[in-house]
Structure 1
Amino acid sequence: MSDEMKTENTDFEVLYKKSQKYFYDEEYSQEEFTKLASLFGDSFRNVKEKEMVKGKIVRIQPDYVIVDVGFKSEGQIPISEFEGMTDLTLGTEVEVVLESVEDQEGNLVLSKKRADFLRVWEKVIAAHDSGEVIKGTITRRIKGGMVVDLMGMDAFLPGSQIDVRPIRDFDAFVGQEMDFKVVKVNIPTENVVVSHKVLVEEELADQRFAILHSLEKGQILEGIVKAVTDFGVFVDLGGVDGLIHITDLSWGRINHPNEVVKLDEKIKVVVTDFDEEKRRISLSLKKLLPHPWENIEQKYEIGKKVSGRVVSLTEYGAFIEIEKGIEGLIHNSEMSWTQHIKHPSQMVSMGQVVEAVILSLDSDEKKISLGMKQLEPDPWHELMEKYPIGSKHSGIVRNLTNFGVFVEMEPGIDGLIHISDLSWTKKIRHPGEVVKKGEKIDVIVLSVDTEQRKISLGHKQITDNPWDTFESLYGNGTDTKGKVSRLIEKGIIVELVEGVDAFVPTSQLTPGKLKNPGNHFAIDQELDLKVIDFDKENKKIVLSAVAFLKDKSEDDINEYISTHKLEKVTVQDFQNAETTKVENLDFPTFEVSPAAGKPKKGGESAG
């Protein structure tokens, strides 16, 4: 006899002895009792917890449904788990899960809801293993995706797995029934991930294959705008994406692709390039349109007035879009007749609509030159009438340079007074010695050059040339007095009674050597001098102290030597000195060098 049978008989013996107090020995023998107990035990199932079993509804109560699963006791299930069940009647067979053999009250705990879940779970696992397509309904939106009802069970649908195209309105999918493929299951946590995108990709696979193997440059296709970026537009051609670079969207200049296309818009495009290995498709939208430069000469003649929008500003000018794909340049020099434009922003701004005149057109180089100033008459053409040569005017000093003074005659019209035309009598080293910026000054028009747009002005010409008078006052051999006004290396400049400057070379200050006149002569010191050279044409007067003293008394000469602290020189040196005409080489030059304000040393005469 097996150990199992021995144990079973022993259990029945114990049971038999306990039952003797309830019946008489003569009713049942031990053998009969054991047989009856075995038959009674075999009538019950050997059911394990968490196992799914079938049972029959034996009672229906307000809150519970009582189900007999063939166990020693009946189990109860909340009536809410039968919600939606149409045949809830006594005797109906249902599948349930034995959650617990005995709860705190000793009752058998059953669950129909868990049984329903396990039944669906088995189908989901089978669908995952076989790749079967199952239907589900999207019930709500959650972080990262959607929740899908699969036959009463919740599954997760990631946002990226809804479609091959980017989803912009997730809420629009709530309530939709769709086909899904189970792509991931987590058995311990009983989580399921589904995808609709893989089904769409499978459907598009053949279409994608056909497109990729039939692509040709120049081919025209229809697609839907899938994504818009700063650099271009991605177009869905039916499972294959192509890119339209921002420069291929329009013949004209655009700032962002959304100026031309919108998301989900259906458009036609032309294939411009295709890399089969990298599966890159380059598309163009603008090449479906005529090139704007075709037959441009017929649309835009030289001299024609056009209008356009300012699309770019550079250091040298402004680019104007007169139509999509056609831009012209207004150079800084073509913006104003009178103003000196350093940057186009002085006249125009980005986005501004301006008018201009076509100056030149080069269809081969695709260049158009435009002008704004040509919209108005050139004021320089009228200047000869307004400012005839010799006419007198007043202007404002706007700028001082080393070589002269710029005077504003009227807004935008400047003239130049050369430094040599500031004074008849003064040897001017810099215009700042005579005028200041912002001052009003009287001028005479000397010349007008309309082509070079230059007006030459004179200030000294306001008064008569005094050199006609000076000729009679300061002839050669004339004695005069002069006041020291400037000390230079080669001599001194003195101002004569009539206000004219004259030059005394160092050789005419003493017959001896004089290295530095500043050590012997002082500013505003008055000297007795003799004219030794008068040059009316070059406006020069050369004087000599030696020539003046040559025939004077010894006392006068000694007084001069003492006053000016002249060393190693005697009266006889003065009396015997020669006072011939000074060569041009001895004359100082007052043309302004890079060291502004200092006289330039040289042999040319002062102007």
Structure 2
Amino acid sequence: GVEGLVHVSEMSWTKKNVHPGKIVSTSQEVECEVLEVEEEKRRISLGLKQTQSNPWDSFADRFPVGTVINGEVRSVTEFGLFIGLDGDIDGMAHLSDLSWDKSGEDALKDYKKGDQVEAKILEIDTDKERISLGIKQLSKDTAPAGARRGATVTCTVTAVNSGGVEVSFGDDNEIPAFIRKSDLSRERSDQRPERFAVGDKVDAMITKVDKAKRQYSLSIKALEIAEEKEAVQQYGSVDAGASLGDILGAALKGDE
């Protein structure tokens, strides 16, 4: 008779890097698909898994993107969680998709192997046999919509120290932030934290946002520079002969 070879990579869709003896046994009759015939080398390549339904395709048909699924945490890695899914396949919840409020590293500590979790399907790539899952997507982002880089916010001073000023902003002053000493004013002489007192209201620009850690950096200096640039554009330029005092004076009159 004619013999063909089933490479271990063509034996199972889900069992990778295992001994062939764990999938089939000697003398067992199996149905295979001919993948390649090399007449010169007298070699026939066969596939066993090709005679079975592809679990990745089957999963994609039954669970489209956006579906919420339940599964068991099979392993916890530095990259995220591997979660067991129907069809004996795994999906991965990257650490950046675990929590809105905690950093990925901190959120990862909340899970262990064997936990039952609920997650939303974010992406399915059947060619790469990859399913991306998200746990934080099951709830709304708690960050306010206006808390973006470049936005101007009114904040309340909550503490004053030698390095700068701690403030809070938001509808209920629920978002803590920090203004460094060098960002308290564009004028070096005014970069003194002691100028401020707890309870003071100040306007500042958001200059840095760390969504994972929910950390915000603000700057009064950046806001002053932005306001001056806007005034110059609207009311004239120093190069055109107008002094900064004239420009700001015109801006103030325009606000009256």
Please confirm whether the aligned pair reaches a TM-score higher than 0.5, indicating the same fold.
yes
Secondary structure, aligned partner of 1:353: coil
**SS where residue 3 of structure 2 aligns?**
strand
1:478 is matched with: 155
Match of 2:59 in 1: 383
Q: Answer yes or no: is the 8 Å Cα contact 1:475–1:534 preserved in 2.
A: no
Structure 1: how far apart are the matches of 2:175 and 2:103? 7
1:429 matches 2:105: yes
Instruction: Output the CA distance in 1 between the equivalents of 2:157 and 2:62.
Output: 45
Q: How does 1:113-128 map to 2 (within 5 A)?
A: none
Residue 543 of structure 1: how far off its partner (Å) = 4.2
SS at 2:153's partner residue? coil
Give TM-score scaled by structure 1 length.
Answer: 0.28
Name the counterpart of 1:368: 44
Aligned match for 2:29, one of 337, 346, 354: 354
Following TM superposition, by how much is the alpha carbon of 1:328 offset from its aligned partner in structure 2, in angstroms? 2.2
Q: Secondary structure in 1 aligned to 2:57?
A: helix
Higher relative contact order (CA 8 A, sep 6+): 2
Q: For residues 435 and 331 of structure 1, what CA distance do their matches in structure 2 show?
A: 37
Matched position secondary structure for 1:408: strand
Give the Cα separation in 2 of the matches to 1:481 and 1:332. 64
Q: Which amino acid aligns with 2:206?
A: D
Per-residue deviation, 1:447 = 0.9
1:271 aligned residue: none
**Count of aligned pairs between the two proteins:** 195
Shift of 1:580: 4.1
Alignment partner of 2:4: what SS? strand
Pair 1:337 & 2:13 matched: yes
SS at match of 1:477: strand
CA RMSD between the two structures:
4.1
Mapped to 2, the partners of 1:348 and 1:481 lie a distance apart of 69
Q: How does 1:302-341 map to 2 (within 5 A)?
A: 323=1, 326-341=2-17
CA–CA separation in structure 1 for the residues paired with 2:175 and 2:130: 31
- Kindly tell me: are residues 431 and 464 of structure 1, through their superposed partners in 2, closer, same or farther at Cα, counting changes over 3 Å? closer
Cα distance between partner residues in 1 of 2:125 and 2:8: 21
Counterpart for residue 85 of structure 2: 409
Shift of the alpha carbon at 1:380? 2.1
In structure 2, relative to structure 1, the CA distance for the partners of 1:478 and 1:399 (3 Å cut) is same
- Deviation, structure 1 residue 542: 1.7
Deviation at 1:414, TM superposition (A): 0.9
2:122 is equivalent to residue 446 of structure 1? yes
Superposition map of 1:558-597 within 5 A: 580=222
Contact 2:208 2:217 in 1 (8 A): no
After superposition, the Cα gap between the structure-2 partners of 1:409 and 1:501, relative to the gap in structure 1 and judged at 3 Å, is farther
Runs of 4+ in structure 1 displaced over 3 angstroms?
Answer: 468-472, 500-505, 507-511, 527-532, 534-541, 578-581
Is the contact made by 1:533 and 1:541 (CA closer than 8 Å) also made in structure 2? no
Q: Conserved in 2, the CA contact under 8 Å of 1:427 and 1:501?
A: no
Counterparts in 2 of 1:217-296, with a 5 A limit? none
| Maintained 8 Å contact 1:534/1:541 | no
Matches within 5 A, 1:13-24: none
1: distance between equivalents of 2:118 and 2:211? 24
| Contact map agreement 1:419 1:430 (CA 8 A) in 2 | no
C-alpha distance in 2 between matches for 1:397 and 1:503: 35
The structure-2 alpha-carbon separation of the partners of 1:367 and 1:389, relative to structure 1 and needing over 3 Å to count, comes to same
Deviation of 1:528 after TM superposition, in Å, equals 8.9
Distance of 2:72 and 2:35 partners within structure 1: 34
Instruction: State yes or no: 1:542 paired with 2:219.
Output: no
Shift of 1:541: 4.1
* Deviation of 1:411 (Å): 4.4
Residues of 2 paired with 1:508 and 1:439: CA distance?
Answer: 46
**Corresponding residue SS for 1:476:** strand
Asked if 1:460 is matched to 2:136, the reply is yes
Match for 1:395 among 57, 62, 71? 71
Contact 1:392–1:443 under 8 Å retained in 2: yes
Q: Taking structure 1 as reference, are residues 371 and 501 closer, same or farther at Cα in structure 2, changes over 3 Å only?
A: farther
Q: Which runs of 5+ in 2 are unaligned?
A: 160-165, 185-197, 224-256
**For residues 468 and 510 of structure 1, what CA distance do their matches in structure 2 show?**
23
Write out per-residue CA displacement over residues 85-137 of structure 1, whole angstroms, 9 at most, x where no aligned residue: xxxxxxxxxxxxxxxxxxxxxxxxxxxxxxxxxxxxxxxxxxxxxxxxxxxxx
Alignment check: 8 A CA contact 2:55 2:87 kept: no
Q: Distance in 1 between matches of 2:176 and 2:112?
A: 25
1:162-206 CA deviation, whole Å, 9 max, x = no partner?
A: xxxxxxxxxxxxxxxxxxxxxxxxxxxxxxxxxxxxxxxxxxxxx
Shift of 1:430: 6.1
| Deviation at residue 477 of structure 1 after TM alignment | 3.0
**Per-residue deviation at 1:458?**
0.8
1:31 alignment partner in structure 2:
none
Q: 1:404 touches 1:431 (CA, 8 Å); kept in 2?
A: no
Quick check: 2:95–2:108 contact (8 Å CA) kept in 1? no
- Assess, with a 3 A threshold, how the Cα gap between structure 1 residues 387 and 346 changes in structure 2: closer, same or farther: same
Aligned partners of 2:4 and 2:199: how far apart in 1?
73
Is contact 1:426–1:501 with CA below 8 Å preserved after alignment? no
Question: What is the CA distance between 1:399 and its match in structure 2?
Answer: 1.5
In 2 relative to 1, CA 404–534 (structure 1 residues): closer, same or farther, beyond 3 Å? same
SS in structure 2 of the partner of residue 354 of structure 1: coil
Deviation at 1:370, TM superposition (A): 1.4
Q: What CA distance in whole angstroms lies between the structure 2 residues aligned with 1:415 and 1:464?
A: 22
| CA distance, structure 2, for counterparts of residue 343 and residue 508 of structure 1 | 63
Structure 1 unmatched ranges of 5 or more: 1-322, 483-491, 512-526, 548-577, 582-607
- Inter-partner Cα distance in structure 2 for 1:430 and 1:343: 37
User: Distance in 1 between the 2:71 and 2:33 partners?
Assistant: 33
Shift of 1:389: 1.0
